[in-house]
Chain A
Amino acid sequence: MADMTLPHRGPIDVLRVPLIGRFLRWRRGRLVMQVALFAIALLLVIDGFTGPQNAARNLATVTSWVHYRGLLVVVLLVAGNLFCMACPFALPRSAARRLSIRGKRFPRALRNKWLAIGGLFLLFFLYEWLDLWASPLLTAWVIVAYFVASFVLEALFTESAFCKYVCPLGSFNYVYSTLSPTQIGVRDPDICARCVGKECVNGSYAPQPVIRVDDIGGGQTREVKHGPDGVLGCGTLLFAPQVKSNLDCTMCLDCVRACPYDNAGLMLRPHGRELSEPGSWPGRWDVSLLVVILAFTGMTNAFGMVPPVYALLEWLANTLYLRSEAVALLILFGVGNLLLPVALTLLAGWASRALAGAAGRLSLREVVAAFAPAFVPLGFGVWFAHYAFHFLIAPLTIIPVLQEFFGMPGEWTRFGAAADTTVISLVQVVVLAGGFFWSLLLAQRAAMRLYKRNGMPGLMPWALLLLGMMLVTWWIMSLPMEMRGTDLFA
């Protein structure tokens, strides 16, 4: 038997932390978290369908649109993609595997982020058009739709197609978990190089027990057991030693549990390290534009709650003789969430390349891919500022909502306290300004890396775009918030 005992060296592995690490590594650890969130999802669906159709008094709306989102951005920043780790929508994955009805891989043409971009666009369009935040019933249907979509895709395809290519929540989490201080990694890459089964990606599950003897070099062998108690490999088909980014990582930790050499772990790293490391992301159009579009979507989502949006919609309706709110919103979001980010990205990339004199050397795709990570901190700042406002303005209202759900009188006066408005404003300023300067720093590094001596002129278009985005968001945040739907034609 080979001595594969691992020395504890290199980055700190969160999974070595007593209690927490043991729980996370436990083969039922994720299931426990998923069942807990599944139970919460069940409560939301029950209340959404049967409770009062008053968003402020219903668990479905308060939990989904206020507390989940408020906590999500904090957890992404300080810990990592814990929601995907405990995602109840991923439960069907295991069920689908057990039912053995999975077939082919996801169609090659769809193995990218275009569907995810479409899903995000659709979700935020529906959010505004149907006023999802104001409708417990529709919110419950959204949750049910998530479960159905997840199960169907997991059942039909051999990989976690829903998580990797479709899920709007997952796409948001993937992009902004690139800022987080944790990432899947391995302690000794040499062990992975010698590993025969690559269980981290292939899994250790088999319908019948199987014992395989691996030749691990030097005339040494090792027994590797697969069986019904084994775990699935990485659902999004990431190979642990090659993971350079949190993009596509659901943090399910199946790679850790499947590794026969106990070589994979959840490593601590500097916040957002991958954003400044070239080659961490695939330099594809879909990935780059997803990041930029998500940042712009954060701006339009906030813009949807301030007075100028109603004036703009009215102007659109009068100018184009529109009689449909859906069409007006489609135009607004089509321009704000798709056309504008794509056009400005292409323009900035073209100008950057031209100013740096690199037109013949670098393709537009390469330039955009190099600067795309710079949109993560600012985009995150925009979302954080918006979500933090909703969360901090009445963080404890979930308690009386729960009280009423369980048949008790809700103590609204007792739990109606809001965070001081100065504190809320301060949080917004800090995350927005912090995100902007972080983005600027990343863009500057990318420019220097890409253009060397001509870095400064090459940086200018991107810096102007980031500055413009920050100022527009600042302006939006400085306007009085209007908690109403864009019900233009009511």
Chain B
Amino acid sequence: MARQARSWLTFLLLVGGLVLTACRQAEPPGAQAAGIEIAVTMEPDPPVTGAATLWVSVRNEAGEPVRDAKLNVRGDMTHAGMVPVIRDIEESEDGVFVVPFEWTMSGDWIVDFTVMLPDGETAQERLDITVAPGENEPEGHDAHADHDAHDVHDEHETPHDG
């Protein structure tokens, strides 16, 4: 009886494992658009903790700006367990999205840019960015000081193509 119970338990664990593997959300969602170029510039550059602005330029194969697209930006620190910074931007000008962002802590970041094109397809870009401590870096492993100002600057020079 005990042996039978153990066999069932093993079987259930194996089946459960396979089912859970299948549950995993596929990444990225939606069909992948071909030939879309995503270029990112930022201010301040190099990035430091605090408020920042990202300019995300989206162009098609012909190098023309993509209009009427939507942008999702998600910044994760490479260390597990940190709160991501997420921005959804629905308006762009000549294919350039202006994203008020915030580097909440110095260190290594993974920033995913997902562009939802008007035809439902998506395009993605990932940047690995190292953020240095800013002048106003909070003391004491303090990562979540609020930064109210999301200054938007006009200059955006250095591209960070992933």
Q: Are A61 and B80 in contact (CB-based, < 8 A)? A: yes
Is B121's beta carbon under 8 Å from chain A?
A: no
The stretch of A250-258, A328-336, A367-375, A387-395 that contacts the partner chain: A387-395
Which residues of B lie under 8 Å from residue A134 when comparing CB positions?
A: 78-80, 108
Complex partner residue of A480 from B20, B24, B76, B137, CB under 8 angstroms? B137
The stretch of B37-45, B54-62, B139-147, B154-162 that contacts the partner chain: B139-147
Nearest A residue (CB) for B5: A28
Per-residue CB contact flags for chain B residues 93-113 toward chain A (1 = under 8 Å, else 0) read 000000000000111101000
- Residue pairs across A and B with CB atoms within 8 Å: the count is 148
Is B84's beta carbon under 8 Å from chain A?
A: yes
Nearest B residue (CB) for A397: B81
Which residues of B lie under 8 Å from residue A416 when comparing CB positions?
A: 83-84
Q: Are B141 and A483 in contact (CB-based, < 8 A)? A: no
Q: Are A66 and B81 in contact (CB-based, < 8 A)? A: yes
Q: Are B107 and A482 in contact (CB-based, < 8 A)? A: yes
Per-residue CB contact flags for chain A residues 23-47 toward chain B (1 = under 8 Å, else 0) read 0000000000001001100110011
Mark out the residues of chain A between 45 and 67 whose CB falls within 8 Å of any chain B CB in the assembled complex.
Answer: 46-47, 50-52, 54-58, 61-62, 64-67
Q: Are B13 and A39 in contact (CB-based, < 8 A)? A: yes
Nearest B residue (CB) for A307: B133
When chains A and B are docked, how far (Å) is the Cα of A482 from the Cα of B137?
11
Report A336 CB to chain B, min CB distance, Å.
Answer: 19
Known A-B contacts A391-B81, A394-B83; the reply to A484 vs B130 at CB < 8 A is yes
Report A369 CB to chain B, min CB distance, Å.
Answer: 35
When chains A and B are docked, how far (Å) is the Cα of A381 from the Cα of B138?
22
Q: Are A397 and B137 in contact (CB-based, < 8 A)? A: no
Which residues of B lie under 8 Å from residue A56 when comparing CB positions?
A: 76-82, 84, 110
Q: Are B24 and A394 in contact (CB-based, < 8 A)? A: no
Is B118's beta carbon under 8 Å from chain A?
A: no
Complex partner residue of A46 from B21, B84, B86, B133, CB under 8 angstroms? B21
Nearest B residue (CB) for A398: B81
Q: Interface of chain B, helix or strand or loop or mixed?
A: loop
Known A-B contacts A54-B76, A405-B23; the reply to A35 vs B81 at CB < 8 A is no
Which residues of B lie under 8 Å from residue A324 when comparing CB positions?
A: none
Give chain B's interface residue range (CB within 8 Å of chain A): 35 or more
Is B127's beta carbon under 8 Å from chain A?
A: no
Which residues of A lie under 8 Å from residue B107 when comparing CB positions?
A: 481-484
Known A-B contacts A65-B81, A393-B81; the reply to A425 vs B110 at CB < 8 A is no
Is B16's beta carbon under 8 Å from chain A?
A: yes
Which residues of B lie under 8 Å from residue A5 when comparing CB positions?
A: none
Q: Are B142 and A394 in contact (CB-based, < 8 A)? A: no
Is A489's beta carbon under 8 Å from chain B?
A: no
Report A435 CB to chain B, min CB distance, Å.
Answer: 17
Complex partner residue of B83 from A64, A391, A418, CB under 8 angstroms? A418
Which residues of B lie under 8 Å from residue A479 when comparing CB positions?
A: 139-141
When chains A and B are docked, how far (Å) is the Cα of A413 from the Cα of B87?
10
Report B103 CB to chain A, min CB distance, Å.
Answer: 11
Q: Are B80 and A477 in contact (CB-based, < 8 A)? A: no
Per-residue CB contact flags for chain A residues 466-490 toward chain B (1 = under 8 Å, else 0) read 0000000000011111111101000
Q: Are B106 and A482 in contact (CB-based, < 8 A)? A: yes
Beyond A64-B80, A477-B141, 10 additional contacts (C-beta under 8 Å) are: A42-B13, A55-B79, A56-B84, A405-B23, A406-B20, A418-B144, A421-B144, A425-B141, A482-B133, A483-B78
